Structure 1
């Protein structure tokens, strides 16, 4: 078989490149910046904030592939090899135990699926991504794979990509790469910088990354083992020391009149800074999704003030008397009250709900208040946000932008796709369904909730299948009835699979607007596939993940060993590229794929919790030092605070 170089490679040497880049940067919009905080530097994409993309006319297509052999396209892999996308083999880490997936021109030709081989393909995708960053932008907080440049958010860099990637390297046993990262952290990383940073993003990525690296290297010393990690060696507690220093600075954000953290903090000055947008209000998800990190740090250090500060915010939120467990997407640090009536599980709301159940699991189910709040919120989602599409009947989670008494918007951020996996985790506590069903506490409600998780996961998979590249848009809208059908009402049963005929009926249910067609390498659907596979054992979730992975390879790889890039438009072939690699591509997307294809005893779900950036922490008992420092106020039969109005 003869192979030809792909015809649709982008023209990276175009004389119009500078003009295009200038237009691109001016068209990116304020959504890519932390407005009012970074005057000169932009922050890598907020995890919980969708980027409302203003399309440029820069067209940098990659390629198309059409022939498949053994699961990966021989055509593309060979072409990438010939064009220099991948490095020549070199001993940069411990030898892989499995046959290399891309060592020649494709996967094995066996009819039997080899999940270890597929897992190794993910490892190689990580190596491609990391080595490109290491080659072209080492030490920088941002990496632009097409331009092959980096950029810092602070004068000396914050280790944004390096720290966020630590535990992925440990899990994948990338010893030499981890050694280089650890050396940079030891010699170059300092928090003593006059720089304002996002309290939330820095907590989940930097603090979370350091703490998970400490956990894995301490509890699993055979993973990417380093000599200086030996007991008593210098720098043994490097990750924990850096984490403690950072946390002390971040805790300054909680010095508000109410105890609700300010959106930002100046690292050098130990000073919290109110948001310059939204009249100083903070995103609810930001204020209420830092508890896992600080509680684990408190357990490690014995410093109770870390625990107390972040736990207080949970009490403040609950005292606002949210209706049916659903909270508006803004809180104000001055008075501790919710602001506005916008209710959604997408941006600025998402991880609040995630951290309710995960706080309960983190402390070995010793804080039942958080399970109670989770169950209330799930019942509220069913009552107010779950609806069904037309004509096919897919289950979606909409939004109530003007309050629970106003119209339902049939809009789903890709961010919402974390939710089905979290539901499954909440239902079983991390056990398999087979194990959980044997428990005396198992109920019909658990069966119903698990079915809801299956249905939403299918919809999220449809968001990928709808797009030309097989990579989901940032935001998808849906056709729904007027008035919308709500949870429990009769509706059509959607097809089990997505017919790829462009005129297939199911496509009438999905709507993607022009400004929402970008794909930012987000992990949420992969996250849910991982949970759904581990908990239900349904092989389709693994297969869906493999299909997504092949689309990432096909449409986001960059020539000349550049790694992988986000897409400005994922609904056209060739796609338009965005020239940015998000840190969560490595910290979450590739990690969840790796775990999806791994044996179930790697990070067992009944032993760990993963934070909202995919960093694993151990479950632990609180012991005599820690306790839930608050109790819910009395409520009536409707769940409302006695004598107080509902939000």
Structure 2
């Protein structure tokens, strides 16, 4: 049993298992194979129509180069292939990326010519590190390749400890682009940079990432211990007062906990910061809907709640479950389960079985941030939320299935298994496109058209979390691995603090 002790204001956590022992349903293997089939169809379409580029355009049977043209889909899918046992595809994939030139953006589209430190970190660096570990740490060429990339990403830190997110790779040395950033872009480097330091012997990467997070922690906050979403890299000061668990803040909060997990809480600063953000969220952001009593975390700005949530924010259920387990905190864990159920409800409430990009609600005291139309109110009265205007899309995102995976692995409650079965059925029924799979313009209307970009995270995250939900519990056990925000698993030590 995990025990929590406070010594000199520091959080100390003793050893305990994250996953219970569970016998999975007999049907699991069949569903796992269905996910493999979906992956092979998706990746096969990518090879046919988009090989050498970042993403498949599944409607037009073409390609999209949104990640500098370095074949993001291949890098992001490497560890998925490994986990699924697709050795032939994996060997072919290594051949496709062996000569990728990470010193220049390869896209001709001016909108994507600059380099995103955040996206390259979680996809390219993250995918390479995970694959390196899963294949016995023998393919040092992968490490060499992404070290070249990371050395150029490091120019984002030229102005100080808070990095810019946009870097111009067309110059030597690369040039950091001026402008505001957000805490997710700043704080989602620690897992990858620290792990690269281990495999290169260069501790500079770890120091850069840790110092960036601590610079965010050192700034004044709109709510106790919860940073504003926006940040100005040259000064390191907050930009605005918007507080959220959604996009722009999400993986900063995620990595506070996961960095503590992967380092065995060597520096308690990160775990303590996560716990303070959670405590603040319980006090200021936690609420229930007036219909269905669904549990939500609101956003917060201008000194008041903004009653909105999002698909991106729905990672929070799994994150709170992991933190609740590590801290042996039943309150956090049980709220995490309620957050998972509320996000899953957005899937169960639409004809397609997928939730929208953003949604809103009326809290138990009758407060809301938007006035619902009559149609919105009718939908709300049935489902306990309604779709934020203009945000009906589903972009193949993983977050709801991610949190559902954590709930299944930590409780063994078959309802979470069944949630994954329903989602897989929706994938095969509604997302099959002219080539591969595509997101939906309107989750309430499957005939409203599809989104012409099969982003690499579909293979890296959405399908991986589905596959692992149907896999034995010892396959990437949460007691042995921690996932980066792109679902790339890294080896994690036994939790002993």
Deviations 1:434-460 (A, max 9, x none): xxxxxxx74xxx111111011111100
Cα distance in 1 between the residues matched to 2:55 and 2:200? 31
1:567 matched to 2:440? The reply is yes
Q: Secondary structure at the match of 1:408?
A: strand
1:180 matched to 2:92? The reply is yes
Alignment of 1:320-335 (within 5 A): 320-322=219-221, 323-335=223-235
Aligned match of 2:398: 523
Q: Give how far 1:553 is off.
A: 0.9
Cα distance in 2 between the residues matched to 1:592 and 1:346? 20
Q: For 1:585, which of 458, 466, 471 is the aligned residue? A: 458
Cα distance in 2 between the residues matched to 1:604 and 1:467? 32
1:117 matched to 2:14? The reply is no
Q: Give how far 1:142 is off.
A: 2.4
Structure 1 residues 620 and 113 mapped into 2: Cα distance closer, same or farther (>3 Å)?
closer
Contact residue 264 and residue 273 of structure 1 kept, 8 A: yes
Q: Give how far 1:410 is off.
A: 1.4
Aligned match of 1:491: none
**Unaligned regions of 5+ residues in structure 2, if any?**
1-24, 106-112, 369-376
Deviations 1:406-433 (A, max 9, x none): 221211011111011011111223xxxx
Deviations 1:313-340 (A, max 9, x none): 1221121143322111111111111111
Q: Give how far 1:274 is off.
A: 2.8
Q: For 2:321, which of 413, 416, 424 is the aligned residue? A: 424
* Structure that is richer in helix per residue: 2
1:542 matched to 2:417? The reply is yes
Aligned match of 2:80: 168
Cα distance in 2 between the residues matched to 1:181 and 1:531? 29
1:310 matched to 2:310? The reply is no
Q: Give how far 1:177 is off.
A: 0.9
Q: For 1:353, which of 250, 253, 257 is the aligned residue? A: 253
Cα distance in 2 between the residues matched to 1:399 and 1:512? 16
Question: Comparing 459-468 with 316-325, which one deviates more in the overlay?
Answer: 316-325
Give the paired residue count: 453
Aligned match of 1:212: 130
Aligned match of 1:192: 103
Deviations 1:470-521 (A, max 9, x none): 1111111112245659xxxxxxxxxxxxxxxx97985252111441111001
Cα distance in 2 between the residues matched to 1:620 and 1:547? 34
Cα distance in 1 between the residues matched to 2:88 and 2:169? 30
Q: For 2:147, which of 244, 247, 271 is the aligned residue? A: 244
Cα distance in 2 between the residues matched to 1:154 and 1:364? 33
Cα distance in 2 between the residues matched to 1:272 and 1:420? 38
Q: For 1:283, which of 138, 159, 182 is the aligned residue? A: 182
Cα distance in 1 between the residues matched to 2:44 and 2:334? 41
1:130 matched to 2:43? The reply is yes
Cα distance in 2 between the residues matched to 1:178 and 1:391? 48
**Unaligned regions of 5+ residues in structure 1, if any?**
1-111, 220-228, 230-235, 430-440, 486-501, 622-647
1:159 matched to 2:59? The reply is no
Aligned match of 1:436: none
Q: For 1:273, which of 176, 184, 189 is the aligned residue? A: 176
Q: Give how far 1:176 is off.
A: 1.2
Contact residue 421 and residue 531 of structure 1 kept, 8 A: yes
Q: Give how far 1:344 is off.
A: 0.7
Q: Give how far 1:270 is off.
A: 3.7
Cα distance in 1 between the residues matched to 2:464 and 2:51? 21
Cα distance in 2 between the residues matched to 1:137 and 1:400? 41
Structure 1 residues 483 and 325 mapped into 2: Cα distance closer, same or farther (>3 Å)?
farther
Contact residue 256 and residue 270 of structure 2 kept, 8 A: yes
Q: For 1:411, which of 284, 293, 308 is the aligned residue? A: 308
Q: For 2:432, which of 544, 548, 557 is the aligned residue? A: 557
Cα distance in 1 between the residues matched to 2:459 and 2:405? 16
Q: For 2:262, which of 353, 362, 373 is the aligned residue? A: 362
Contact residue 284 and residue 352 of structure 1 kept, 8 A: yes
Alignment of 1:226-237 (within 5 A): 236-237=139-140
Contact residue 473 and residue 519 of structure 1 kept, 8 A: yes
Contact residue 64 and residue 453 of structure 2 kept, 8 A: no
Q: Which has the larger radius of gyration?
A: 1
Cα distance in 1 between the residues matched to 2:386 and 2:198? 46
Deviations 1:566-616 (A, max 9, x none): 111121143421122111110000000011111111111121111011111
Cα distance in 2 between the residues matched to 1:568 and 1:401? 29
Aligned match of 1:48: none
- Length-normalised TM-score, structure 1: 0.67
Structure 1 residues 508 and 601 mapped into 2: Cα distance closer, same or farther (>3 Å)?
closer
Contact residue 165 and residue 586 of structure 1 kept, 8 A: yes
Contact residue 570 and residue 576 of structure 1 kept, 8 A: no
Contact residue 330 and residue 339 of structure 1 kept, 8 A: yes
Contact residue 154 and residue 193 of structure 1 kept, 8 A: no
Contact residue 315 and residue 399 of structure 2 kept, 8 A: yes
Structure 1 residues 284 and 391 mapped into 2: Cα distance closer, same or farther (>3 Å)?
same
Cα distance in 2 between the residues matched to 1:152 and 1:205? 14
Structure 1 residues 266 and 573 mapped into 2: Cα distance closer, same or farther (>3 Å)?
closer
Contact residue 103 and residue 152 of structure 2 kept, 8 A: no
Aligned match of 2:282: 382
Deviations 1:376-430 (A, max 9, x none): 010011111111101221111111132xxx221211011111011011111223x
